Structure 1
Amino acid sequence: MDKILWKVEGMTCSNCALSVSKVLQKQGMQQVQVNAITGDVSFETLDAANMLTIAKKNINELGYHVVDDSVVAVEKKKPFLGTYLEKFWFTLPFTLVLMTAHWAMYFHVHFLHNAWLQMAICLPVFIVGMNFFGRSAVKSLRKGIPNMNVLIALGSLAAFVYSFIGTINGNETQIFYETAASIISLVFLGNWMEDASVESTRKTIKELTKQHKVMANMIAYDDAHNENIFPIENTFLKTGDLVLIKSGEQVPQDCKILSGEAEVNEAIITGESVPVFKKQGDILIGGSVLANGNVKCYVTATGKDTILNGIVELMKQAQGQKPPMQLLADKISAIFVPTVVSISVVTMVVNYFFLHIGFGDSLMRSIAVLVISCPCAMGIATPAAIAVGLGRAAKHGILYTKTDSMELFAQIKQIVFDKTGTLTSGKFQISNFKSDIEETDFKKLVYSLEKFSNHPIAKSIAAAWKTQEVLRWQNIEEIKGLGMKASDKEGNIYWIGSAKIDARITDTSHHLYVTKNNTVIGWIDIADEVRPEAKAVINYFKSKGITTILLSGDSQTKCEQVAKQLGVDKVIAEQTPQQKLDVVEALCKTAPTVMVGDGINDAPALAKATISVSLSAASQLAIQSASVVLMNNGLQKLPIAMQLGEHTHNTIKGNLFWAFFYNIIAIPFAAIGLFTPTVGALLMGLSDVVLALNSLRLNWKKVASI
């Protein structure tokens, strides 16, 4: 299966996305994902030629425009009246003249009362409108995916045809050319306003995803091995290229430091403006800025392989997901157009046959129902809020990988923290040790075991006791929740881990034990510092009435010490990864639960939590299991993540309430004649703008930091 990536322009809501998705699925495409806000479309197909051409044609026929990223863009001549705004300005003068004709008695322009003249003035507007709305409506009906243009086309067509019949019969009481023209003109204006408002919700994501072109100082060597430095655009850099980055310059691509030291501002990723110290061997993230210092580096990743792009892709995937509240809106949007057409017909019948309203007025009420209805309002309610919420979170160094977390944060009753590397800094020091063998041999043995582990404690020990003399193992593996196990070529079995590695260990007061063939040959005590922000974070959640729980594989004594220091409500210690998973699963059954962790041991439990939070310095497995990733390597942004999630949830609720309220109120009002078709067309366009503006308020919602 080939994976295809497209950009589809012209989508403004999930109703549009649903139409595009159905076209692709009918064409046999699989794994279809459509993001209405960003315009990103991805799918898999077996036939990368014929089916793609047909699918692209079908989507274009619905009124959208497919931009194929796999094909080099060729600049085409801009079509006449190619944008909504151009169409609006073209139709506006004709519409204003017809509106003047409608009120001719007040403006003393009686010659405009001529029905044939009004038809001639309306005709250009009607042709432009039908060329867009009519064609799109017919094609959507042929494909069994009726879109909003069906409502607009039916409304304007009914007004024009009824007026044309009146013109032929010489009946001036059924001339409504101004209605047909005003519907078309105002919907063009509304579509432009809708596009403009939706575009404003994309800006934050675009700023993050935009590839800034900067000049890099590339290092090259001539035949005499002399170093030469010359400027090159960062987009031309390749993996392995050498670059010099000076103080104040932007890191051109992901790099690894070969020599030099620097303080680096990584606000583009972490949201923190405080510079981070970097030295030889450290990774520099493309887009970060050297606040002070000069370094020589080699490029480790470019373009789509960079860390920043990986974050952007996660954000795009998150935007494509549908939170729980969106599912109801999608179901309603899918049947919205046929339902409104049915209501419009019923309106016509009831007004004319039962209420004995004149046929012309009954028709106008029926048309008003068609044009005032807005399926896009329900469709845009959630995606617009999600887009703004994700963008603001990214600015704070918070990455939501699952958008339903933004809704679920509002329901959370308890939060579970791992200890090591989460509530504590993960920066460990060896406070004491004892061995039955020579100290040098003991350190060499421990380093040879721990260098293969990803656990924070193991990394700290390996860094402290690093040596060039390393033992060679026949076999070595990391046993989750226990420690490292290795065997040498003589068949000796070595372990390093907690007291759980051997049931015969009776003195469990030390952190780590080293055994050889089931005999303890030494122990190590570790000191770990509590994160400076941890107590404030715990206090914040307690102030919200959320129960705080410490869940760890460490000893009961060590966990209780940390819990007492921070004021944690409950301690569950000495847990294996399976036990952690069972505990979190049980907690989630009692109440919605957040799990915060960073190690391999935490990955299974993270996957079971209602919301899983991981730190950016965590193991890759933990990050993949998380629905929220804090990019600042600390807990200080966790309260902000929760507040932004709650604000986004409330904004979605407000948007959906407005969307449902608007349609529930507007349609009956139109049906009883309180709104004319012209007013209905204007209100329909404004409804989407209201939702977009309400979503943009998320950018200024107050969040309390600790």
Structure 2
Amino acid sequence: MTIPLKLHVGGMDCAACATKIENAMKRLPGVTDISVSYGQELLSVTLDEDRTSRAVIEGKIRALGYTPAGSDVARTPANDAQAATAPWWRSPRGRLVIGTAALLAVAYIVSHIEPSWATWAYVAATAIGLVPIGRRAIVAALSGTPFSIEMLMSVAALGAVAIGQAPEAALVIFLFSVGELLEGLASGRARAGIRALMDLVPRTARRLRGSEVETVPVEALQIGDVVLVRPGDRVPSDGDVIDGTSGVDEAPVTGESVAVLKEPGSTVYAGSIGIDGELQVKISRTTADNTIARIIHAVEEAQATKAPVARFIETFSQWYTPAAMAISLLVIVGPPLLFGADWFTWIYRGLAVLLIACPCALVISTPAAVASGLANGARRGLLMKGGAALETLSKVKTVAFDKTGTLTRGKPQITDIVCLAGDENDMLAMAAAVERGSSHPLGLAIVAEAERRGLDIPRAFGGSSVTPGKAVTARLKAGFVSVGSPRHAAGKSALTPDQADRVAALEQAGKTVVVVLQGAQALGMIALRDEPRPDARAGLEKLRSLGVRSVMLTGDNARTATSIGSLLGLDVRAELLPDAKLAAIAAYRAKGPIAMIGDGINDAPALAAASVGIAMGGGTDVALETADVALMKERIEGVAALISLSRATMSNIWQNIALALGLKAIFLVTTLVGSTPLWMAILADTGATVLVTANALRLLRYGNRRSD
């Protein structure tokens, strides 16, 4: 019977670990669709149980030195936190460090008590410490990974013993164990970003059952349940407010630092925090499908997706290790055979070269930085769906924006009220009375402004009548009042030449003008426009400071688009049909990588055509499931933050590569001239690995102390 199987595998620190497990699985009959993610510590396979049992798979994983920690079980904050807080000395690597340290100490003591036994004491310490490492090397070799770091270490240690350098062999084994332990601890830090996201969701919820309140695990919540969120409580899952009013801190989810007012009808997200009021929330998503769960899933998938530079490094390392072993062999046999040099000296130096050649630091240099960059972005509401998007963003020179709902609010706002007769508020109240009940965006904006001012909106008798394309008319206590186009007003000869010029000036500024008429008399004019987002200008300025060009691509009319473009200071291409917008993106892309920013719905073709598609949308399905990047905090400034973070990540990657290769080059030279002992050679790899990982972890704090 064929079944899907998922195993959480503890102890994976880098891509080399994942490769060993993947190669081992490929050699087992009936195991297909193999996927290994060291970032998630997850193995996924399709298993034919008639050919290979799950016990065999778990046994193979253990033989390679890793720990299968459970299967087919969803990760939860509880079990992740338990794994994260386990003390290092209880782990297999911690026990190996303690054991090798004890053996080394015993050998050292023996060498001082009875010098004649010193060599055998160190040989015994090396042999015992080498048993688990050698066993893993043999299993890896038989499973398709002959050039593992364990194999290099075993050959170097045995070679050192063979030439009478048992003390150094024992020290090498100990330092290797310490290096592996430090790598594991550093990788755990890199995974802390995901655990922090998981911890945003509370473990329990206060569910309402009639007038009773019961405390239940969040996993027990069902769609339709009503929960109580008090000040200071975290929202247990996505839902809609049905009662109460409160400010809600959404920073844990969207990165938005300002509290958002929530009232009946508002949507709240799992992990956000109530501030000053009590809310009753009707659950719309289960815990496994809420915003936090989907963000975690997206980030974990992104970490499993390799960036182009990461794929290159992995391919390079596959050739690098065999080549390094060949060079080590040449160092050992070349000088003695060709120049009659001392065999002992060059065997010793060749073994040191072998230790220096271990590829761990190089292999982990890229994925560690990418994982940290993705985790940093997720924490700040910048959700990237893979290392490829992260890498491409660092090269972007042009950013194309849709207008409506992206650069602008997506809803028209009143910009000017020109009173021609009577009181401005009275005129606005009458216009709102005519438009009340309308679904037209202009009418909704007029009613909203009247309500914002607290005006007493009169009642219309018999409702409103609509003359399509011209006006909306209603009978009020003061008589018949119309809200219509300037052309409609001109047809009634209601506008003087000066008033008509005023209308033209407003329209030239990209605004839509309506005229309020009482009978044939013009009471006033109301100008509306879909105004830019408050942060749009600052966000575009930050892009300019990064050397990135911004352009607006919109299907809106040229007059309105040009007006918005001049306000924001960016290039405009207007009146673009969908095909023309795609052609424009293709033309920009031919000159270099381009990012497209849209709302993720009607802009889907353009988002797909760009080098990187970025969806605006706080927590919506579209924002999480379309495009390559989602801005959970709906701010233009997030685009600059994305590019800044991606550039920092790529810079970190190249620093890591230079650090890994530079240290190896330095130690190679010192080894060939005879200045590097074996115990120091191992530091060229384990030390570099720890330094590279620590450097990558700096990205977790990127943006904390400076503006992006």
TM-score (norm 1): 0.79
> Cα gap change, 1:545/1:510 in structure 2, threshold over 3 Å: closer, same or farther?
closer
Tell me, yes or no, if structure 1 residue 334 matches structure 2 residue 315: no
Instruction: Give the equivalent residue in structure 2 for 1:143.
Output: 143
Change (3 A) 1:676 1:54: same
Name 1:239's counterpart in structure 2: 223
Q: Does 1:529 align with 2:510?
A: no
**Residue pairs, 1:8-407, within 5 angstroms:** 8-27=9-28, 29-45=31-47, 50=52, 52-70=54-72, 83-96=92-105, 98=107, 109=112, 111-112=114-115, 114=116, 117-130=118-131, 132-146=132-146, 147-160=148-161, 162=162, 174-210=163-199, 212-221=201-210, 227-407=211-391
Match of 1:169 in 2: none
SS at match of 1:689: helix
CA 1:651–1:431: 2 relative to 1, 3 Å: closer
What amino acid does structure 2 have at the position aligned with 1:606? Answer: L
When residues 407 and 42 of structure 1 are mapped into structure 2, their CA distance, relative to the original with a 3 A threshold, is same
Contact 1:426 1:457 in 2 (8 A): no
Residue 31 to residue 587, structure 1, CA distance change in 2 (3 Å):
farther
- Contact 1:126–1:180 (8 Å) recurs in 2: no
1:55 partner SS: helix
Which is further off, 76-85 or 647-656? 76-85
- Provide the C-alpha distance between the structure 2 equivalents of 1:544 and 1:211, rounded to a whole number of angstroms: 33
533, 541, 544: which one pairs with 1:539? 541
- Alpha carbons 2:108, 2:118 under 8 Å: kept: no
Shift of the alpha carbon at 1:584?
0.8
Aligned to 1:681: 682
- Aligned equivalent of 2:408: 424
Residue 184 of structure 1 aligns with an amino acid whose one-letter code is I
Residue 171 of structure 1 is matched in structure 2 by none
- Aligned Cα RMSD in Å? 3.8
**What's the CA shift for 1:276?**
0.7
**CA pair 610-701 structure 1, distance change in 2 beyond 3 A:** same
Task: Please report how far the alpha carbon of residue 349 of structure 1 lies from its aligned counterpart in structure 2 after TM superposition.
Answer: 0.4
Please say if residues 205 and 387 of structure 1, whose CA atoms lie closer than 8 Å, have aligned partners that are also in contact.
no
Which structure 2 residues correspond to residues 500-539 of structure 1 after superposition, within 5 A?
Answer: 527-539=529-541
Corresponding residue SS for 2:279: strand
CA distance in 2, matches of 1:625, 1:229: 39
Sort the Cα spacing of 1:586 and 1:525 in 2 relative to 1 into closer, same or farther, 3 A: farther
In terms of mean alpha carbon deviation, does 347-356 or 288-297 score higher?
347-356
Is contact 2:208-2:227 (8 Å) kept? yes
Correspondence for 2:699: 698
The Cα offsets for residues 49-72 of structure 1, whole Å up to 9 and x where unpaired, read as 835443333332222222233269
Q: How many pairs does the alignment contain? A: 615
Question: CA, structure 1 residues 629+668, in 2 after alignment: closer, same or farther (shift >3 Å)?
Answer: same
Contact residue 606 and residue 622 of structure 1 kept, 8 A: no
The amino acid of 1:258's aligned partner reads: I
| 2:663–2:684 contact (8 Å) kept in structure 1 | no
Shift of 1:622: 6.1
Alpha-carbon offset, residue 457 of structure 1: 9.6
| CA distance, structure 2, for counterparts of residue 527 and residue 64 of structure 1 | 62
Q: CA–CA distance in 2 between the matches of 1:87 and 1:656?
A: 29
Match of 2:461 in 1: none
On the 8 A contact 1:155/1:371 being kept in 2, the answer is yes
Instruction: Describe the shift of the 1:598–1:217 C-alpha distance in structure 2 as closer, same or farther (beyond 3 A).
Output: same
| CA shift in 2, pair 1:100/1:361, >3 Å | farther
Aligned to 1:638: 639
Distance 1:346 1:99, change over 3 A: farther
> Contact 1:62/1:136 (CA < 8 Å) preserved in 2?
yes
* Aligned equivalents of 2:565, 2:669: Cα separation in 1: 59
- Sort the Cα spacing of 1:98 and 1:214 in 2 relative to 1 into closer, same or farther, 3 A: closer
CA displacement at 1:153 relative to structure 2 = 0.9
CA drift at 1:589: 0.6
Q: For residues 636 and 554 of structure 1, do their structure 2 counterparts lie closer, same or farther at Cα, with a shift above 3 Å needed? A: same
Using a 3 Å threshold, how does the CA distance of structure 1 residues 48 and 558 change in structure 2: closer, same or farther?
Answer: farther
Unmatched 5+ stretches in structure 1: 163-173, 222-226, 433-438, 451-455, 465-506, 513-523
Does the residue aligned with 2:224 lie in a helix, a strand or coil?
coil
Aligned position for 2:471: none
Alpha-carbon deviation of 1:17? 1.6
Q: Distance in 2 between matches of 1:78 and 1:695?
A: 23
Identity %: 27
Q: Select 1:411's aligned residue among 395, 405, 408.
A: 395
Cα deviation for residue 551 of structure 1 reads 0.3
Q: Distance in 2 between matches of 1:460 and 1:361?
A: 86
Aligned partners of 1:151 and 1:337 also within 8 Å: no
Structure 2 counterpart of 1:467: none
Question: Could you say what secondary structure the match of 2:637 adopts?
Answer: coil
Distance 1:43 1:277, change over 3 A: farther
Q: In 2, are the aligned partners of 1:372 and 1:670 still within 8 Å (CA)?
A: no
User: Counterpart of 2:424?
Assistant: none
1:213 Cα shift?
3.9
TM-aligned CA distance change 1:599 to 1:375, over 3 Å: closer
User: Deviation of residue 233 (structure 1)?
Assistant: 3.5
Q: Distance in 2 between matches of 1:62 and 1:360?
A: 33
Residues of 2 paired with 1:155 and 1:233: CA distance?
53
1:286-311 CA distances to partner (integer Å, 9 max, x unpaired)?
11110121121222223321111101
Aligned match of 1:648: 649
Amino acid aligned to 1:543: S
Q: Cα–Cα, structure 1 residues 646 and 347, in superposed 2: closer, same or farther, change >3 Å? A: same
Structure 1 residues 343, 605: closer, same or farther in 2, change over 3 A?
A: same
| Structure 1 residue 613: Cα displacement | 1.5
Structure-2-length-normalised TM-score: 0.78
- Name the structure 2 match of 1:495: none
CA contact (8 A) 2:206 2:229 kept: yes
Q: Which moved more, 1:401-410 or 1:627-636?
A: 401-410
Equivalents in 2 of 1:643, 1:80: separation in Å? 39
Change (3 A) 1:599 1:618: farther
Which amino acid in 1 is paired with 2:183? E
Letter in 1 for 2:694: L
Give the direction of change, closer, same or farther, for the CA distance of 1:110–1:8 in structure 2 (3 Å limit). Answer: closer
Cα distance in 1, alignment partners of residues 236 and 316 from structure 2: 47
Determine the structure 2 residue equivalent to 1:557.
Answer: 559
Conserved 8 A contact 1:8-1:41 = yes
Aligned pair in 2 of structure 1 residues 300, 69: CA closer, same or farther (>3 Å)? farther
Look up the equivalent residue of 2:692 and give its one-letter code: L
Q: Give how far 1:444 is off.
A: 12
Residue 395 of structure 1 and its aligned partner are, at CA, apart by 2.4
Closer, same or farther in 2 for the Cα pair 1:683/1:99, shift >3 Å?
A: farther
Structure 1 residues 3, 303: CA separation in 2 closer, same or farther (over 3 Å shift)? farther
After TM superposition, the structure 1 = structure 2 runs for residues 604-615 of structure 1, keeping only pairs within 5 Å, are 604-615=605-616
Residue 81 of structure 1 deviates from its aligned partner by 8.3
For 1:639, the aligned partner's letter is: A
Distance (whole Å) between structure 2 residues aligned to residue 12 and residue 669 of structure 1: 29
Match of 1:6 in 2: 7
Shift in CA distance, 80/690, structure 1 to aligned 2, threshold 3 Å: closer
Question: How far did residue 117 of structure 1 move?
Answer: 4.9
